[in-house]
Structure 1
Amino acid sequence: MVKIALDAGHGINTAGKRTPDGEREWAFNSKVLLACTAKLNKYQDVQILRLDDPTGNTDVPLATRTNKANAWKADALVSIHHNALAGKWGSHGGVETLVQEITASKASKDIAAIIQPRIVQEMGLRDRGVKPKNNHMTRVSNMPAILTEGGFMDSTTDIPALRSDAKLKAQGEAIADGLAEYFKLKLKVAGTPAPPKEDGELKFSSPTVRKAYEKLLESKATQEIVINGGIKAGAFGELWRSKWENKELEPDDIVGLAVLFATKK
């Protein structure tokens, strides 16, 4: 199993992280991250952990992000960003990928070398190359880590690409495919059925138990208890929070977690 930590840099209201017209960097970053997550989920044997606030409302401290990735023992970390020069429109521009200066691992450099040209191609922007730079996300992470800059928000050349949802989606998929190349991931086989449950469905000891199960599935209160009282509060661990953030929770997961939550009380 390959564990990938993804990070949409900054938050919606982080000062200075916006275009001259007021568009927020986090909004660009998050679209790329979501596309990357969706594409990674098409590969076998991958787990994904999102390090930033998926709503963007909180600019999660950098130490919190890297602590989370380190504790999870991620195999790689990608921090997704978009650049700016002076906050004024100009003709500068281009894509670059950053690795930690001096101490970057060979794995970090190799991943960056695979992903950088893929982003350049999909965004259709100038190639500024892979660059060494000192920053927290690559310095403090225990795993191979890179920071992508998918174009300049204050560039008259780059901004049309950043405003294109299709381009941002392609950028996210480029990152995912680059990671898949490095880790030699295989795509899931289309149409492969999930392993069947016994006799094709869950077994219940009685009609009363079945009705109780179905009632839990339909209950909004159950979902609120699991999500607000359990997942968001950290009662079930980072894996379940990641599955919820990536919209991967199944109905059976909700019911199971509700029962687990009740037994913890």
Structure 2
Amino acid sequence: MVKIALGAGHGINTAGKRTPDGEREWSFNNKVLLACAAKLNKYQDVQILRLDDPTGNTDVPLTTRTNKANAWKADALVSIHHNAFDGKWGSHGGVETLVQEIIASKASKDNAAIIQPRIVQAMGLRDRGVKSKNNHMTRVSNMPAILTEGGFMDSTIDIDALRNDAKLKVQGEAIADGLAEYFKLKLKVAGTPASPKEDEELKFSSPALKLETETSLASKAHRQIIVAAAVKEGAHSSWADKLANNTLTDADVLGLAVKYTIAVNK
């Protein structure tokens, strides 16, 4: 049995972790994680542990995340992120995968070498390569660990890919397939019985942000009010397109309301 620990970086309200237009990094990370988990579940003999808060409401401390992965004795850890340069729109961009500097295990480097080009292909962005950097998630984890950066949130080049849910889905699947290649996993055959019930903390099928159906955010009319007000205050017009296409998540709506100080209980 191969045990994979996955974490979407940060929380939805973590300061600074957003595009210049207010889109939250966690929302991008979460979509990739959900796709990765769904694809991993198509392989035999895999268990998955989610390290972050599946609602995004709490930015789970890094020590809590690595303690959880270490105690579970994961075989690999992937921390999923999207990059930023200075929080202002620019022409920089690209995909990179990080391993721990100096002390990175061969397994970490091998995983990164397999997964990095797959993400580049999935996102259609510049290849910044595998890089060594000192960060908690790769330093403190006892298992092979990598941190993915699937593009720059403040890049005028990368942002179209990040706003494309289909590309984020393919990115998640690329990470899963890269892990499957490293661990030599086999796809389940048709008719394979479902695996035992997963840890309740995973909640991979839960919405990006848990909200009761009777709250104002569940109302399409109120969502339209929030988006229209945000666009009027300077938010990108793509938010209105996402609303029209029914691809706007509760987390997106709440993020707009917070950034542009729009009441959510009108």
User: 2:69 and 2:194 mapped to 1: Cα distance?
Assistant: 30
Describe the shift of the 1:135–1:53 C-alpha distance in structure 2 as closer, same or farther (beyond 3 A): same
Alignment of 1:60-75 (within 5 A): 60-75=60-75
CA drift of 1:245 comes to: 1.5
Q: Distance in 2 between matches of 1:28 and 1:117?
A: 19
1:240 equivalent among 199, 203, 226: 199
CA distance in 2 between counterparts of 1:81 and 1:40 reads 18
Question: Which structure has the larger Rg?
Answer: 1
**Unaligned ranges ≥5, structure 2:** 207-266
Unaligned runs of 5+ in 1: 196-238, 249-265
Distance 1:89 1:73, change over 3 A: same
Distance 2:122 2:73 in 1: 30
Equivalent position of 1:83 in the other structure: 83
Shift of 1:115: 0.1
The ranges of structure 1 where at least 4 consecutive aligned residues each deviate by more than 6 angstroms after the TM superposition are none
Shift of 1:241: 2.6
TM-score relative to the length of structure 2: 0.75
Q: Which amino acid aligns with 1:71?
A: A
Matches within 5 A, 1:170-185: 170-185=170-185
Could you say if the C-alpha distance between residues 46 and 193 of structure 1 is closer, same or farther in structure 2, counting changes exceeding 3 Å? closer
Per-residue CA deviations over 1:206-228 (Å, capped at 9, x if unaligned) read: xxxxxxxxxxxxxxxxxxxxxxx
Deviation at 1:246, TM superposition (A): 3.1
- The answer for the alignment partner of 1:93 in structure 2 is 93
More helix by share: 1
The residue type equivalent to 2:204 in the other structure is: N
Equivalent in the alignment of 2:24? 24
- Rounded to whole Å, the distance in 1 between the matches of 2:59 and 2:79 is 14
Q: TM-score, normalised by structure 1?
A: 0.75
> Which residue does 1:132 correspond to in 2?
132
Match of 2:172, SS?
helix
What secondary structure sits across from 2:200 in the alignment?
helix
Match of 2:153 in 1: 153
**Aligned in 2, Cα 1:136/1:157: closer, same or farther, shift over 3 Å?**
same
Measured in 1, the distance between the counterparts of 2:85 and 2:183 equals 34
Aligned-pair identity (%): 88
